[in-house]
């Protein structure tokens, strides 16, 4: 029985589309509060600014990043890792704002993950032309927890591969207001983002914001 069909569990009556065995696409899930979510993102980035990190290989990433939560994802010459302090400010990352956390947990719940407790929220800002190469997310200790992603602003083509880098990939557009929950057997799939095409959105200008919620521990 699909409990999501019941009004009390899904008052917004959002369509929950299965992408794979462990992944669900929630089209337009964030549309009712996109402005409020972007305001919370701005509060975070006022304290821990968006910045272009370097890869361990020494390349500057085209995506600018920041974090909130008890840990943040960082990259530098020493590698990729989660850490409790923002290396730019030397202070703890900002607290995860309430609406961000609530909506991430709701999305996970609608996708069938009942006890998602994200402690990391990674904020990615894509300007025109920014991209993210094919990669796996495996810096998290707990690979049984899903990752929840929110897309806001201008659209981008998401590339969804297989469990090996060379596997065939699917492409689909992630648009303003979309949420996706990635877990189970899909958790370690390779994925990336094609270079963002020139566009404008009323709420963000020529920018795409992607937010990923992660649970690094048990
Ligand atoms: C599928 N971000 O931050 S979000 C990342 O649009 C990242 O900024 C992309 O990949 C972005 O690591 C994609 C969607 C996403 C996130 C994590 C996944 C898809 C995933 C983990 C496993 C499989
Ligand atoms: Fe990723």
pLDDT given for residue 1 in this prediction: 44
Q: Which atom of ligand 1 is nearest to the CA of 210?
A: 8
Q: Using only C-alpha atoms, what is the Rg of the chain?
A: 16
> Is the residue at 85 inside a domain?
yes
3-state SS of 94-162 is: CCCCHHHHHHHHHHHHHCCCCCCCCCEEEEEEECCCCCEEEECCCCCCCCCCCEEEEEEECCEEEEECC
Q: In this structure, is residue 196 part of a structural domain?
A: yes
C-alpha 191 to ligand 1 mean position (Å): 7
44-72 burial, b if ≥16 CB within 10 A, otherwise e? bbeebebbebeeeeeeebbbbbbbbbbbb
Give the pLDDT of residue 107: 97
Confidence of residue 9 (pLDDT cuts 50, 70, 90): confident
- Nearest-CA residue for atom 3 of ligand 1: 212
Q: How much of the chain, in percent, has pLDDT values that exceed 70? A: 96
Ligand 2 centroid from CA 1, angstroms: 31
164 is a domain residue: no
Whether 149 and 211 have beta carbons less than 8 Å apart is answered as yes
- Residue 163: inside a domain, yes or no? no
Distance separating alpha carbons of residues 196 and 114, to the nearest angstrom: 33
Task: Find the ligand nearest to 159 CA.
Answer: 1
Residue 3 has pLDDT above 60, yes or no: no
Instruction: Locate 120 and state its tokens.
Output: 């990391």
Domain assignment present for residue 102? The answer is yes
Q: How far is the CA of 136 from the centre of ligand 2 (A)?
A: 6
| C-alpha of residue 1 to centroid of ligand 1, in Å | 29
**Is 11 part of any domain?**
no
CATH number of the domain to which 144 belongs: 2.60.120.590
Q: Quick one: average pLDDT of 123-145?
A: 95
In angstroms, the CA 130 to CA 64 distance is 9
State how many domains the chain has.
1
Residue ranges making up the domain that contains 61: 16-149+169-214
* Ligand 1 nearest-atom number relative to CA 156: 6
Residue 188 contacts residue 173 (beta carbons within 8 Å): no
212 in contact with ligand 1, CB cutoff 6 A: yes
From 212, 214, 215, mutation site for ligand 1 pocket: most ligand atoms within 8 A of C-beta: 212
Local confidence band at 24 (pLDDT 50, 70, 90 cut-offs): very high
What's the rounded Cα separation, in Å, for the pair 84 and 91? 8
In a domain, 3, yes or no: no
Instruction: Check pLDDT > 80 for residue 216.
Output: yes
In this prediction, residues 161-180 reach a mean pLDDT of 97
Whose CA is closest to atom 7 on ligand 1? Answer: 192
In a domain, 162, yes or no: no
Atom of ligand 1 nearest to the CA of 124: 8
pLDDT the model gives residue 7: 58
Pocket of ligand 1, candidates 151, 182, 213: which has the most ligand atoms within 8 Å of its Cβ, to mutate?
Answer: 182
Q: What is the pLDDT of residue 28?
A: 96
pLDDT at 196: 98
Q: What is the pLDDT of residues 49-87, one digit of tens each?
A: 999 999 999 999 999 999 999 999 999 999 999 999 999
Give the DSSP letter string of 19-76.
Answer: EETTEEEETTTTGGGHHHHHHHHHHHHHHS--B-PBPTTSPBPSSEEEEEES-EEEEE
For residue 108, pLDDT beyond 50: yes
The pLDDT assigned to 5 comes to: 47
Dihedral over alpha carbons 131, 53, 105, 190 (to 10 degrees): 50
Q: What is the pLDDT of residue 6?
A: 53
């Amino acid at each position: 029985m699909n409990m999501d069909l019941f009004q009390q569990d899904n008052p917004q009556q959002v369509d929950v589309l299965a992408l794979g065995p462990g992944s669900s696409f929630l089209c337009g899930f964030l549309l009712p509060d996109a402005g409020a979510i972007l305001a919370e993102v701005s509060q975070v980035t006022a304290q821990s600014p968006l910045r272009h990190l370097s890869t361990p290989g020494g390349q500057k990433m085209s995506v600018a990043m920041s974090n909130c939560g008890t840990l943040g994802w960082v990259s530098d010459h020493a590698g990729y890792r989660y850490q409790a302090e923002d290396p730019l400010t030397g202070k703890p990352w900002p607290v995860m704002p309430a609406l961000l956390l609530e909506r991430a947990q709701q999305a996970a719940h609608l996708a069938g993950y009942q006890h998602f407790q994200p402690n990391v929220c990674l904020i990615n800002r894509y300007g025109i032309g920014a991209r993210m190469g094919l990669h796996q997310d495996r810096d998290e200790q707990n690979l049984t927890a899903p990752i929840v992603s929110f897309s806001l602003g201008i659209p981008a083509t998401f590339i969804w591969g297989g469990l090996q880098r060379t596997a065939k990939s699917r492409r689909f557009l992630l648009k303003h207001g979309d949420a996706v929950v990635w877990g189970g057997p899909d958790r370690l799939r390779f994925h990336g983002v094609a270079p963002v095409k020139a566009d404008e959105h009323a709420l963000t200008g020529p920018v795409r914001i992607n937010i990923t919620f992660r649970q690094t521990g048990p």
